[in-house]
Each structure stands twice: as structure tokens, then as C-alpha cells.
Structure 1
Amino acid sequence: MNKKTLYFGHLLILLAGGLFPLGFSPFNIWPVLIVATAVGFTLSRTESVKTATLRGLLFGIGIFGTGTSWVYVSIHNFGAASVPLAALLTALFVLTLASLLVMPLFYLYAKLRDRLTIQAPWQQALLFAALWTIFEWVRSWLLTGFPWLLQGYSLLDTPIQSWAPVVGVFGLSLLMATTSALITATLVSDRTRRNPAFIALSITLLFWVASVPLGKKQWTQPIGEISFSAVQGNIPQLLKWDPGYVQETINTYYGLSEQEWDQELIIWPENAIPLFYSQARSVLNQLDKKAAENNSALILGMPIDERSESQISMPNVKYYNGIIAKGLGEGRYYKQILVPFGEYVPMESALRGLISFFDLPMSAFSPGSNDQEKLRIPNAVITAYICYEVVYPDFAARQARDSGLLITISNDTWFGKSIGPEQHFQMSRMRSLETGRYMIRATNDGISALIDDKGQVLETIERFKPGVLRGTAEVMKGNTPFMLFGSWPVLILSLLMIVLAGICARRTVNS
């Protein structure tokens, strides 16, 4: 291969990665993912380990460079970093993701392909698709996890989404990646190898066809309904933690809620009250009384200091990003999965105070325990997620067990008018589909919405304006297969695909 062809391949795979996010919200051009993945597979299929690894890095830079560009907004607009510094930090963020989450996939693919002597394109396709899915799953836990831009999300609002309650988003990703790679394998195979490739592709396409009757299956059943109001305050991020603006923030939520107390449930978003629990006792007592008098439950987000209970004398106080239920509501919830830099600072002793971005308000939280009681209101047991937690498929599915309704509160104001909040909302919708439960989403400036058990948006209100989302949510019972088994069946199938590719390759060599 001459240098011109080599460099053209590098450029093409970078471009394919850059187009990858077009498959997700707000663009939703899902066939782009099939093409982009096919290009990624084609340009690494028979390359050396060194070339495949480099192209994996370039593919990852393309994916995250365009798909997570919203990080720049947080660093520059709200982290007080200059344009050059924000651009540098964003570039480092993208390079880190590409190096840790995509480049090793291409390296391992080339290594296993050579070690197992996998030469048939259809066998290479199975290996690549299986590794792609495994590495997507790795994204969900490595270094606290970053399960963003998973291929399966693109299949929302298509008939194929009916597989989500069975195999989750990783199962949809496996289907997408396998289809892309096998289409490529069928096209590049010679006569002797085309039939096996076509047979493998046909079997894969049967899963696409089976999604139509599967879509009629009802995994969970409604057992009641509740009326609710989700309040969207639209508090400017630059003023949210300003001590001089606290009363204005509280007044905003009071005012928007004034006509909503006849609802069974009222929800205020993440950190709606910008005071620690110990500082807001009088406000909370008033809210508790108001909700109880009207036979309503109020669920709101706020930072909670542990000393507010029985540990006032302790010198070391822990802080939590929390949810509290008042009125007819019972319980509280401490966020378990924290956002690096936003809610805690990794290597804090070295980074804290270095630049303003590493000293953002509320960046010293502790994670809550994994055995917390669920929130309760008279007619429902509620699973609550705070912001980032809803992007973790297996975590969200486990949390949803033994509850009838999902609530997620968030503050996506950090990302302005970028594509970040749209992607976040799409992931929330997938959680409703995977668990067969309605979800009420209450955010500071949007997207506040009611999502049904099929992941469809029933109600929403305009973004970047204060308002109230009113509706009726069904309370569900029952568990989907994904809630019971999580991603393990998909991971096992991916490993079996690797084993199958290796066995078939060995038989070919021996024959």
C-alpha cells in the first residue's frame, strides 16, 4: 500500500467517525451509523495491527470530537476557562476517550484476527461486531463510565426498538454493528466465501424482521395512574449558586407551583433549592405543610449535608446531591453515580484550585449507598435518577425493580444550546423502553417531558423558558427481561461470536 492510499484511509476513517453522531438525537439519521461502522470495519479489516490501532484512534477522535463537543460549552461558558484553554481541555477530553474506549478495540481486533488466523470476511465481521459491543459495555464502567453515543440509541423510534426490553441498548448495538460488518463482508467476499457471509447476514436480518411482531408484546402492565406537575424554573446557571439570587430562585419555584397543589405529585428539578439541607429547614417545613394540606406529594432536588441529621458535631461533613420527598411523599435519595469534575474532582489534591473549572460549585459531593430505600407516594413506589445516572443501562434497570414509576431530575443548563441535552434526553427515553415504565423528566431549562413505557414522548414543554409540565402517568408492574438479566446475555452472545469465528477459522486452516 502506497503512502497516498494509506493517508487517504486515515482521513476517511476520521471523517466516518465525525459523521457517526448524526445517527443520534437531534439528527436521528440512524442509517449513517451502518455506513460509518462499515467504513470503520472496512478500513481496519485486513490492516496491520499498527495501522488498525492508529485508525481506531482516528475513528474515536471523529466520534467524540463531534459527538461530545458540548463539553467545550461547560468548560468555557461556566468553567470560566479562556477560549484557548477550553479548546485544549476539550481536545484532551476527546483524545482520552478515543485512546481508552475506541483505539483498544481496533488493536484487539487486529491482534485476535492474526492470532486466530481469521481470514474469511464474515468471520472477521463477527469478531469486529462482538468486540464493538463488548467495548461499548466497557464504556459503562471504566473509570466510572461514559456510556455515551452507544449505537443502540439510534434505533429509538424505529420498529427495531422492540428488542430493547429484551436485550437493552447493548443488544441493539450488537445488532447494528453485526449488520454493518456483515454487509461489508458480503460485498468484499470472493465467490467461495460469499455464501457463508450471505447466510450470516440473512440470519442477522431475521432479527430485524422479528422486531415487528415483538413490538406487540406488552412486558409490563398498568395498575393505576397519578396526576403530576413537573416544574421547569429556567434559572440561569451563572446565577444559580449566587447567594444574592437564592430567594429569587425559591420565589420562582413557589410561583410556578402555586396552581399545581391539586396534583398528586409535584416535581422540582435537580438542585432546585440552591441551599444545603441544614440551611433550608424553614423553606422545607413550609413546603411540607403546603403539600400535606393539599393531599399532594412534592419531590425536589437539593444538596444535602449529612450533618443536618445527627452529625452536627462531626468535623468532617459529607455532602450529597439529593432528592427529598415532602407532603404525602416519603423518603430521600442520594445520587450514587457522580459526574467527574462536575460533582467531584479526581486527583483533587492536585487539581483543586488549579483553574476555575476544577472548583465549580457543588463539586465536592460524596456518592450515596447502593441500598437506599425508594421514594414513595400514596399510589406509587418511585425509582429516582439524578441527571447523569440515567445514562447507565444496567444500573438504571436494577434500580427500577420493585417500583412502578421512574423519575429523573436534571440540570442540563451546563450545556447551553448544544446537542448534549438532546442526547441525554434520548438516553432517558431508552431507559423507559428497557424497563417498560413511564418516566417523568423534570429539568431546569428542558427537556422536561413525560415518556411512556415504549419510550415515546407524550408531553413536553418549551425549552429555555419557565413553565409547568402537567400530565397523567401510569404506574406499572412487572419486569422486562432486561431488568431481570441485564446485559449478560448480550455479552455472552458476543463472546460466543468470537469463539465461533475462531473455531471456523481454525477448521478452514486445517482443511
Structure 2
Amino acid sequence: MRSLFGSLHTPSSFSPLSGRPPGRSAGHRSGVWWLLCIAGGWLQAASLAWPIASWSLTGTPPGQPDGWLQIASLALLVLALQNSDRAGQALWRGWLFATVWLAGTFWWLFVSMHIYGGLAAWMAVLAVLALASVLALPYAVAAAILCVWAPASRVGQTVLFAALWTLAELIRGSWFTGFPWGAGGYTQVDLLAAWAPWVGVYGMGLLSAVLAYVLASFVNGILRAVSRWVLAPLSRSNKTKARTGGHALRSITASGLAIGFMALASLGALLFSMTPGAERWRSLAQQSTSDAGTLRVWLLQGNIAQDEKFEPGTGMAQALDWYPAQLADAVRSAAMGAGAAPQLVVAPETALPLLPQQLNADFWRPLLQGLAQQPEASAVSALMGLPLGSFSQGYTNSAWGLTPQSAALALQGLQGGQLPAAWERTGGASEGAFRYDKHHLVPFGEFIPPMFRWFIDMMNIPLGDFSRGGLGQPAWTVAGQRISPNICYEDLFGEELAVSFRDPQRAPTVLVNLSNIGWFGDTVAIDQHLHISRLRAMELGRPMLRATNTGATAVIDHLGQVTHQLPRLTRGRLEASVQGRSGLTPFARWASRWALWPLWGGCLAAVILVIAGRHLARRHSSAP
């Protein structure tokens, strides 16, 4: 039986789970591995944010990540690959695991397509499965390559698997606009947190892949030894049994030492992540960052029902009333000299669901006057999500920043019959005005991929074809802090946020995410996105403010800890103070210059070296 271990298996060897040689039971054993791939894929999805409130496999609270579970679930896939007969079998097992994992991770896309988009339920299910199955292809190819080219060395196998798995993650996260939601590293936001400011989410995923392979190899070695020794056919003589047992013991001695050493080393690295040494390791990465002062903020959560958000008589009217009222409260609080008065008020993505010019001057005049008439010493600034542009020239998913100065200029323009400069299609800051245009658009939701117009036409998605903003747009200075917004799932792309850190003197001190997860209902998407934001804060060493429509509206410090949070699906404002940070973490330093190319290069080099070493070893062993 040919296997992942090459010459380690003889044609007469058999699966450690079935205890029977290949033959009539092969299909049954294969079915066991298929079931393990399905179970492992589901557990991998659940490890990002445990979805069941009434029960937990490992005691993890609902909505929280479980790094241990992710490692164990990935180890199930490795076991299935280590017991694959051929490359095609490994390919299908890798594909099945990844498809179940990804579909189980972003199943909530069904809600947006069916409940809010009006797509037939069966078509929405097929669309989610189709997306997951396509995104699973890199992992399937990685599994097949592993089966074909794995060396006999346990260390070489581990390196090859971790490198191939990371390359598959990188491909999913970057090719065809990229959709890295649910990458394995996000499950390690707590367990391997010390590594985040050094290697980022993909580096953390690589470490977890190493641990998973070592765990699987350890378990597989034990199962194989037990199958040879304990499950030997009863028809054999005692002498044959003794010989079989001796062979098993020698197998444990020969390969078990290597596996045991790797297991101890990996366990040591994992335990290190939970000791004071890990905190010192993380502190070392943060030594190059420093306190940049505090900022008082109000983060608004309107909780406008998604099916009413764009309806003039219901959700739209609520938004146009509640958000300006909160801003007016902030201005009054500052005028009264209240100590808790905010310096910045943030409204979520498309808080105002219309183009500004679709609203008459009677709406804008009191809002702009309130901001413009403030004294500079106690001024409140506002950052609100809304579409900007025009239907004729194109529009963007944007965040508009207002200070007293820019509000006065906008008010002056309106009174003269002119549109404010920030409403035109130019990003950045000019004469006190600020505008951020979303760069990384959501396929199907914000732009239409080629040849998919028919699919979009089957759904009811307002404002579905946005224009793209530039990469690395300048930060906005408010109360001594440099504010860098990102919208929706842009915080999923740490390498793109890192572009703003190329110049340390102009790098943002505070990150702000404006989102509307209302598209996906009350699902684990809310929890998953919160953990994604946490990891971005850890990577870049910056606090992350999150203003969302339905949750999770929260303040995350530069260490990735949630310090303040509103309950989901409630209307309210989150009042908090946040500490800005300056300086660069190691990840921010290298990712701002080279993006993810060091990981691409390192993993490709590892694959080439392992395969080349295997080839040389075979040539050497076959030489006379």
C-alpha cells in the first residue's frame, strides 16, 4: 500500500483504524476517512467562533475562537492524508475537508442572498457550496502534492505540509480579489497571540499547521503500532505474534523517537505561548511602539433592520433621524463642557443610505451648522459612512470626515448652490475635509465580476456596483490622532492596511472599521468579524474602533483585547476613550514594504528544498 510515507509502508500494510488489509474492506475504510474529513472540516469552521450556545465540545463560550480545536481538526485531515493510497484520493479528501470547512465558515452568505437578496433558497445554498468548493481547490492541490512528494523524513513531511497549506491560504486570500475569511490563523487570536505582531495571521496559521501535522503523526504512529501488535490475526502462531510485536516495538523505537522529539518541541512552542515568556515576546514586538495620547469617542450602532434600511418610510427615515440626533447630542455635550464629551463620533457603513445630493438642504443645514459653530478647543468631529459620487459618474462606498472647518466650508457651498468638495470623486484630505473611499470591494455585493450580471439581476441588492478607491489613502488628523478608516471586510486584508505604515511619521495611530453586518443577520458572522479586527489590531499594534449597524460595535486595544462593546442587535452608542499608538511592530514594518511576499517566498523555497532533498535522497539510495 503506497502512502504518504513512501517506503515506510509495504504493500501488505493496512489501515490502523480498520485493522484489515486492503481488499473487500477498502471501501469501508475509505468511508471512515471521508467521514473524518467532513467532521474535521466542520470543527475547523466552528473553531473560528463556536456556534452553539447550549453545548461546547471543549468548553469554549459561544462566539469565541478555539485554537486547540483548530489544531485538532486540521490533524484529522492530516490523518486522512497519511492514510491515502494515491494522489487522487488525497486530492479529494483535501477538497472535501476544505469545502466543508469553508461552507461551514461563511454559510451566513445564504442569509444575505436569500433573506435580503430575494434569491431562491435552493439557489442560495448552491451558491454558497459553489463558492466554498472553488475556494477549496488550492487546499486539494496541496493535499495531492503532499501525497506525491512527501519525503520519508517526519521533519520534511511536516515542513512540506505547513508550507503547502500556507500557500493554499495565501492563494485563497489574494487570487481573484481574495476572500481569506476564516483563515486558520484567526482561530489562534488567543492561543498564539504572542506571534501576531511578528508574523501576522498567515504566519500563525503556518505554526498551527506544524502543530497539527506533529499531532497527527504522533497519533498515527501509535495507531499503526497498535494495529500491528494488538490486532495481529488470531490465527498466527505465538512465534509469529511475538515477531509481529517485536517489529511493532522496533517501529515505535525508530520512528517514535523522531515523532516524539517533534511533538515535544511543538508542545513546548505551544506552551510557551501561554507562559509569561510569551507576554515578554509580545512586549518585545511592541517596544518599538509608544503611547500617542487618548481619544474620546462615541461609536454609533443604529440597529436598522436590513430589510428596511433602504426603504424611505421605515429604516431610511430612522437613520436620517437617529444618527444626526446623536451627533447633535455630542455637540451639546461638548458645549456644556462635559468631561465625557467625545472628540470623535463614528457612524457605521452606509449609516446614511443615500447619496448626499439626494437629501435636501433642510437636512444638511442643521447638522453642518452644529459642527461649524463649535469652538476649536472642544470641537467634536464626525466620521460617517455613506455613498459618495453620482449615478452618472460613479459612486463609492465612503466615509466622510467632518470637522468644524470642513463643516463650515460645506455649509458655505450649500448656501451658494455648490456641492461640497468631499462629495466629488476625490479621496483624502483637502481644506479640512476628509473622504475615504473603500478600496477592496466585495464581489457580487459591491462590484459585478465579468459574466455574472445575470446572477446579480436575480437579487435585490441596492447600490451594487461601486467604484474603487485607492490603496493607502492618507490618514485624517483629529484631536492629535491620525485616523485611518476601513470599511466592511477591508480589515480582512492586513497587508493592505499595512501600506499606510510605510512612512512611520504619517502612519495612523488609530484604526476605524465601519461595517454593516446586518446583511448576515444574527449569526456567527458578527463574532468572526470581531476576531478578525482583533488580529489586525495585534498585527499592526494599533487600536481598532468598530462602528457597526447591528454589531459588534466595540473598542479593541493595540493588544487585541476588547475593552468596550455594545450588545448586538440593540440601538445605542458606545462611549469610550482609546489610547492611540505610534511606531511600528515587526509585522507592520515588513508587511508595509513587501506585503506578503516574504511568506510566499519562504513557503515556496521550503517546498522546493524538501522536494529536491527527497529527489537527492532517492538517487543516493538507488546508487550502487
TM-score calculated relative to the size of structure 2: 0.75
Q: In the alignment, what sits opposite 1:320?
A: 396
Determine the C-alpha separation between the residues in 1 that align with 2:453 and 2:577.
Answer: 49
Q: Which moved more, 1:135-144 or 1:162-171?
A: 135-144
Deviations 1:408-432 (A, max 9, x none): 0000000101111211111011101
Q: Which moved more, 1:382-391 or 1:25-34?
A: 25-34
Structure 1 position 441, deviation (Å):
0.4
Q: Percent identity?
A: 27
Query: Mapping of 1:471-490 within 5 angstroms?
Result: 471-486=576-591, 487-490=596-599
1:101–1:250 Cα change, 3 Å? farther
Aligned pair partner of 1:292 in 372, 390, 396: 372
Query: Mapping of 1:107-118 within 5 angstroms?
Result: 107-113=144-150, 118=151
Aligned pair partner of 1:133 in 144, 156, 166: 166
Q: In the alignment, what sits opposite 1:104?
A: 141
Structure 1 position 475, deviation (Å):
1.6
8 A contact 2:494–2:536 mirrored in 1 = yes
Unaligned runs of 5+ in 2: 1-21, 50-62, 222-250, 335-341, 405-431
SS where residue 307 of structure 2 aligns? Answer: helix
Determine the C-alpha separation between the residues in 1 that align with 2:133 and 2:46.
Answer: 20
Determine the C-alpha separation between the residues in 2 that align with 1:92 and 1:405.
Answer: 38
Q: Which moved more, 1:480-489 or 1:46-55?
A: 480-489
Q: In the alignment, what sits opposite 1:313?
A: none
SS where residue 217 of structure 2 aligns? Answer: helix
Aligned pair partner of 1:88 in 126, 131, 143: 126
Aligned amino acid, residue 389 of structure 2: D
Structure 1 position 485, deviation (Å):
1.1
Q: In the alignment, what sits opposite 1:311?
A: none
Q: Which moved more, 1:488-497 or 1:244-253?
A: 488-497
Aligned amino acid, residue 614 of structure 2: A
Q: In the alignment, what sits opposite 2:12?
A: none
Q: In the alignment, what sits opposite 1:397?
A: 498
Alignment pair present for 1:237 and 2:306: yes
Q: In the alignment, what sits opposite 1:154?
A: 187
Q: In the alignment, what sits opposite 2:413?
A: none
Determine the C-alpha separation between the residues in 2 that align with 1:271 and 1:286.
Answer: 20
Determine the C-alpha separation between the residues in 1 that align with 2:256 and 2:601.
Answer: 27
SS where residue 329 of structure 2 aligns? Answer: coil
1:292–1:438 Cα change, 3 Å? farther
8 A contact 1:449–1:458 mirrored in 2 = yes
Structure 1 position 392, deviation (Å):
1.0
1:496–1:353 Cα change, 3 Å? closer
Q: In the alignment, what sits opposite 2:280?
A: 213
Q: Which moved more, 1:478-487 or 1:407-416?
A: 478-487
Query: Mapping of 1:6-405 within 5 angstroms?
Result: 6-25=30-49, 26-45=63-82, 47=84, 48-98=86-136, 100-113=137-150, 118-158=151-191, 160-189=192-221, 190=251, 191-208=253-270, 209=272, 211-217=278-284, 218-219=286-287, 220-245=289-314, 246-261=316-331, 262=334, 263-280=342-359, 282=361, 283-294=363-374, 295-305=379-389, 316-328=392-404, 330-347=433-450, 350-351=453-454, 354-356=457-459, 359-400=460-501, 402-405=507-510
1:202–1:285 Cα change, 3 Å? farther
Aligned amino acid, residue 327 of structure 1: T
Aligned amino acid, residue 373 of structure 2: E
Determine the C-alpha separation between the residues in 1 that align with 2:324 and 2:196.
Answer: 39
Deviations 1:8-63 (A, max 9, x none): 21121111111112211214232111111111112113521110011011101220
Aligned amino acid, residue 384 of structure 1: P
1:498–1:352 Cα change, 3 Å? closer
1:203–1:491 Cα change, 3 Å? farther
TM-score calculated relative to the size of structure 1: 0.91
8 A contact 1:438–1:476 mirrored in 2 = yes
Structure 1 position 405, deviation (Å):
0.6
8 A contact 2:328–2:370 mirrored in 1 = no
Determine the C-alpha separation between the residues in 2 that align with 1:141 and 1:10.
Answer: 29
Q: Which moved more, 1:489-498 or 1:321-330?
A: 489-498
SS where residue 303 of structure 1 aligns? Answer: strand
1:353–1:149 Cα change, 3 Å? closer
Determine the C-alpha separation between the residues in 1 that align with 2:364 and 2:206.
Answer: 47
Structure 1 position 379, deviation (Å):
1.3
Determine the C-alpha separation between the residues in 1 that align with 2:457 and 2:565.
Answer: 40
Determine the C-alpha separation between the residues in 2 that align with 1:111 and 1:288.
Answer: 66
Determine the C-alpha separation between the residues in 2 that align with 1:229 and 1:138.
Answer: 38
Q: In the alignment, what sits opposite 1:312?
A: none
Structure 1 position 258, deviation (Å):
3.5
Structure 1 position 443, deviation (Å):
0.3
In the alignment of these two chains, the number of paired residues is 495
1:111–1:468 Cα change, 3 Å? same
SS where residue 141 of structure 1 aligns? Answer: helix
Aligned pair partner of 2:603 in 488, 494, 500: 494
Structure 1 position 354, deviation (Å):
3.9
Structure 1 position 473, deviation (Å):
1.1
SS where residue 547 of structure 2 aligns? Answer: strand
1:196–1:490 Cα change, 3 Å? farther
Deviations 1:147-174 (A, max 9, x none): 111111112233x201100100111111
SS where residue 278 of structure 1 aligns? Answer: helix
Determine the C-alpha separation between the residues in 1 that align with 2:358 and 2:88.
Answer: 58
SS where residue 319 of structure 1 aligns? Answer: strand
Q: Which moved more, 1:483-492 or 1:443-452?
A: 483-492
8 A contact 1:23–1:32 mirrored in 2 = yes
Structure 1 position 107, deviation (Å):
2.5
8 A contact 2:476–2:484 mirrored in 1 = yes
Determine the C-alpha separation between the residues in 1 that align with 2:364 and 2:578.
Answer: 26
8 A contact 2:349–2:384 mirrored in 1 = yes
Determine the C-alpha separation between the residues in 2 that align with 1:65 and 1:371.
Answer: 32
Deviations 1:290-348 (A, max 9, x none): 223331110001011158xxxxxxxx511100010012464101100011111112136
Aligned amino acid, residue 310 of structure 2: W
Determine the C-alpha separation between the residues in 1 that align with 2:348 and 2:311.
Answer: 18
Aligned amino acid, residue 106 of structure 2: T
Q: Which moved more, 1:501-510 or 1:475-484?
A: 501-510
Determine the C-alpha separation between the residues in 1 that align with 2:159 and 2:542.
Answer: 33
Determine the C-alpha separation between the residues in 1 that align with 2:567 and 2:456.
Answer: 37
Whichever of the two has the greater Rg, that structure is: 2
8 A contact 1:345–1:352 mirrored in 2 = no
Structure 1 position 493, deviation (Å):
3.7
Aligned pair partner of 1:463 in 562, 568, 584: 568
Q: In the alignment, what sits opposite 2:412?
A: none
Which protein has greater RCO, CA pairs closer than 8 Å, 6+ apart?
1
8 A contact 1:133–1:174 mirrored in 2 = yes
Q: In the alignment, what sits opposite 1:411?
A: 516
